[in-house]
Amino acid sequence: MSSSFGKNVCPKLIYFDNNSTTLICSQAKKIYTEWLSCYNASSDSKIAKPAKVLLEKAQDVILAHCGVSSATHTAIFTSGATESNCLIIKSCVKAYKKKLIEKGSELCPHVIASELEHHSILECLHFLKESGEIDVSYVGSTTYGNILAEDVEKEIKPNTCLITIMFANNEIPIINNIEDIGIVAHKYRIPMHSDCVQIFGKYKIDIQKNNIDALSASAHKFYGPKGVGVLILDNNLIEGYGLSAEIHGSQQHGLRGGTENVAGIASMMVALKHTFKNRKTKNQKLFKLRETLLFKLSKIYKFANYTNYLDDSIKKDNIELVSLGPPEDKKGYILPNTILLAIAKNTGKPFCNIEFKKFLDSKNMIVSIGSACLTKSDKASPVLSAIGAPPVIKRGVIRISFGDSNTIEEINKFIKVFCLGIEKQCTDLK
Ligand code: PLP
């Protein structure tokens, strides 16, 4: 095995890809190591007690983060949000199908999701649809990228068994009004699931106030370890709906079999506590980083918000940079750490964000682009398609997502390289 095993974190990077993953904090790493040697929490001998107690404590901490307790809710520990998302969708569909069969109905369960959901949701729904197990309706968004409750309501059918809408998007910096969408869901007695991966480490989510019955989160998005997540369920949903497992076994109330990842769960709990120390100040700093980068770039390039850019009165050829998501005065809807930017500058040939990202990579600056450059590919971002982005926007898009340790100095260095990268695409033509 290579001697560099385990030393895969490069200290000299400017890392602006925190929506992809955050690095585990020292507190979470320490507790992870401590709990690596523990007994099986499900063992019936006394040596299992510390692990059992730890799992209960972790559940209490995570539920309290959402304003509830184990009296009304259950935290199911999973391998991450992908599993949490698939578990809630598949178990709701299965439970509802059973009810339909009992009633002698030939309908199949119907699910409502937004077009902007994470791939783990979209691909799970696609799979179920292709296997003939469900019917799905996808709700589009405004040009800011937010989902409207009234649009969700229009898709409701008598056989709708689940509404799943993410709280904050992972690409475009939007925070949805889940409370209103939840009101619609509950008006029709439909369970409401929200993928809260990107918001969970930034704001406390009051699960009841927001009318959420099931919530997914993932530790590695808030400075915890990779491979651990949670699905928080309202006990009424478990019991009233008759949810069942996808991974079978006796653990976790029979809803998720398998020996619990005690070290990962302990570490997730500590990461959550650590992340929420001075969270308000940290969020203000993230907003500041965001505003600084956008402000400085707007002094260099001709700039527009995407919604304004779409306006017919704007001369598009003049615009060089487009910021996607809500405009800056709609702060309550903006995810504080995220910028989705499209380089629309005329470089003489179609701008290529893949080349641009390679250039930034070569300078040790890490951002994300997804597969947006492949505008015709079905791998291109569904978010960009949902907001009706034209090819020039799709080709130029990059996502910058800050973490709690990023600094203004890093932004200043980044801007220099950013400008060089655009210049390079212009001069490569000559
Ligand atoms: N949902 C959203 C919004 C995400 O951003 C991600 C990860 O990028 C996931 C779900 C999947 O999480 P995990 O990596 O824990 O499976």
> Quick check: CB of 74 below 6 Å from ligand 1?
no
Percent of the chain with pLDDT over 70: 95
Tens of pLDDT along 304-323? 999 999 998 888 888 999 99
Residue 148: its pLDDT value, please? 98
Average pLDDT over residues 402-416: 98
> Pick from 242, 243, 323, 332: which is nearest to 290 by CA?
323
User: Of all atoms in ligand 1, which is nearest to the CA of residue 85?
Assistant: 10
Residue 22: its pLDDT value, please? 97
Banded pLDDT at 9 (limits 50, 70, 90): confident
Residue 1: its pLDDT value, please? 45
Residue 223: its pLDDT value, please? 98
Neighbours of 154 (CB within 10 A): 11
Tens of pLDDT along 84-100? 999 999 999 999 999 99
CA dihedral of residues 316, 320, 325, 326 (deg, nearest 10): -80
* pLDDT above 50: residue 47: yes
Banded pLDDT at 377 (limits 50, 70, 90): low
Compute, in angstroms, the gap from residue 348 CA to the centroid of ligand 1.
37
* pLDDT above 70: residue 412: yes
Average pLDDT over residues 52-58: 97
Contact at 8 Å (CB) between 109 and 161? yes
Compute, in angstroms, the gap from residue 54 CA to the centroid of ligand 1.
25
Compute, in angstroms, the gap from residue 11 CA to the centroid of ligand 1.
25
Residue 157: its pLDDT value, please? 98
Percent of the chain with pLDDT over 90: 86
Our mutation pick for probing the ligand 1 site, out of 116, 197, 265, counting the most ligand atoms within 8 A of Cβ, is 197
- Whole-number Å distance between alpha carbons of 260 and 27: 21
* pLDDT above 50: residue 372: no
* pLDDT above 70: residue 50: yes
Our mutation pick for probing the ligand 1 site, out of 122, 221, 381, counting the most ligand atoms within 8 A of Cβ, is 221
Residue 316: its pLDDT value, please? 85
- Whole-number Å distance between alpha carbons of 120 and 381: 13
Compute, in angstroms, the gap from residue 118 CA to the centroid of ligand 1.
7
Residue 430: its pLDDT value, please? 55
> Quick check: CB of 17 below 6 Å from ligand 1?
no
Average pLDDT over residues 335-345: 96
Banded pLDDT at 380 (limits 50, 70, 90): low
> Pick from 153, 162, 148: which is nearest to 216 by CA?
162
- Both structure tokens of 102: 């009992």
